[in-house]
Structure 1
């Protein structure tokens, strides 16, 4: 079995927290993991956010050959050894459809830079607006379709001055990617948009279809 050893002292705990959030939203969450050139990249699709989350982790030791495997998030979490700073990879699983279409590795161009504090404020503002407008709906009109339509309107709205939909900022906040003092970078590559912060990234495809209804957490 393959074991990956992380370079940073807190990387194993950070990965455990990341996976724990995925499992809180989706007990059957999957992770596509790619490792090579001293870095492991973990891709997930957090339930209800309609985005892809990317967590990069530097490796203490390289892998013999490039690794690309889709695994259960729960089994991956179970294989983490925080004291040793490593993870024992579980066997592969049949990947969900999203795992076959990942953001490109290169070709990203910076479109904007924003302070983390402004991104946090933007995330809080859309959550507050959603709650306020949901509560303002008449009791007989507060149906699932009405709430989902409201969510789609709010979370599809771009962050002011950018083309990045608000759902990406909300997801980054819920994933803990905005707990940093460093600014976030908004990047684009082809049909993809990406919010990159020091802890990780959130990527979305433009024209990728309707959401499933994003709800505040």
Structure 2
């Protein structure tokens, strides 16, 4: 099998951002994998998208981090170990070597669509943040109230699911889970504007640093593809 040549990122800042994303992802799951897709850009260079799953409660949310490429010889589509990919990022050189592919989990075979996204809302982060923090405090309080000998993963997940499945007051179409995931992976900050889009059974919450995507219903025919979201 021919090895994939290292990817040249547009600058060292892109390498640092990718490193931070992978490190956060691995805090949730030390065995995490990422689906990588890279394509040339029309204006030159290219774009790399890394998809990772955040296991929040009994549900999962996909986090997407994109990086600009200085150039790319051919399109790339591979599922790799997040830990190996993190080790393969050379920040000073602004490059990333692509690790050998691994057998991916089910989520890696069904990514959000490239096109067809329709705008839903553009909430200000400072309106989302207080509601999010209230949910974080409630989760902490309610889990601490459960006696330790009853505080099983199933009980904790049930509390999480009840809280994070609530609709956001400022965007009722969007569950609080999306804001929580964006915050947990480092995308959501107290300032700035957010965008919410829908495509079929998918919802996407985008911030300056990246996006999170979740399925609200079965979305047959959603297809696979790179969604260069920043």
The alignment's TM-score, normalised by the length of structure 1, stands at: 0.88
- What are the within-5 Å matches in structure 2 for residues 101-140 of structure 1? 101-137=110-146
Alignment-derived partner of residue 226 in structure 2: none
Report the Cα distance in structure 2 between the residues aligned to 1:184 and 1:166, rounded to whole angstroms: 14
- On the 8 A contact 2:39/2:74 being kept in 1, the answer is yes
Mean Cα displacement is larger for which, 170-179 or 128-137?
128-137
Deviation digits for residues 60-90 of structure 1 (CA, Å, limit 9, x no counterpart): 11x2221101111011111111001110111
How far is the alpha carbon of 1:142 from its aligned partner? Answer: 4.8
Deviation digits for residues 84-112 of structure 1 (CA, Å, limit 9, x no counterpart): 11101111111111000100111111101
Change (3 A) 1:112 1:131: same
- What are the within-5 Å matches in structure 2 for residues 24-43 of structure 1? 24-37=27-40, 38-43=46-51
Report the Cα distance in structure 2 between the residues aligned to 1:55 and 1:201, rounded to whole angstroms: 7
Question: Secondary structure of the equivalent of 2:122?
Answer: strand
Q: Decide which of 52, 56, 81 is 1:44's aligned counterpart.
A: 52
Report the Cα distance in structure 2 between the residues aligned to 1:64 and 1:193, rounded to whole angstroms: 32
Report the Cα distance in structure 1 between the residues aligned to 2:66 and 2:182, rounded to whole angstroms: 14
Q: Decide which of 167, 172, 177 is 2:187's aligned counterpart.
A: 177
- On the 8 A contact 1:168/1:202 being kept in 2, the answer is yes
Identify unmatched segments of 5+ residues in structure 1.
209-217
Question: Secondary structure of the equivalent of 2:213?
Answer: strand
Report the Cα distance in structure 2 between the residues aligned to 1:159 and 1:173, rounded to whole angstroms: 14
- On the 8 A contact 2:56/2:181 being kept in 1, the answer is no
Aligned residues: 207
Alignment-derived partner of residue 153 in structure 1: 162
The alignment's TM-score, normalised by the length of structure 2, stands at: 0.83
- On the 8 A contact 1:31/1:43 being kept in 2, the answer is yes
Deviation digits for residues 116-163 of structure 1 (CA, Å, limit 9, x no counterpart): 222332321111111223334467765544333222111111111322
Identify unmatched segments of 5+ residues in structure 2.
41-45, 219-230
- On the 8 A contact 1:180/1:198 being kept in 2, the answer is no
Q: Decide which of 63, 81, 96 is 1:87's aligned counterpart.
A: 96
Report the Cα distance in structure 1 between the residues aligned to 2:149 and 2:77, rounded to whole angstroms: 49
Question: Secondary structure of the equivalent of 2:108?
Answer: helix
Alignment-derived partner of residue 64 in structure 2: 54
Mean Cα displacement is larger for which, 3-12 or 81-90?
3-12
Question: Secondary structure of the equivalent of 1:45?
Answer: strand
Change (3 A) 1:140 1:103: same
Mean Cα displacement is larger for which, 81-90 or 110-119?
110-119
Report the Cα distance in structure 2 between the residues aligned to 1:162 and 1:134, rounded to whole angstroms: 26
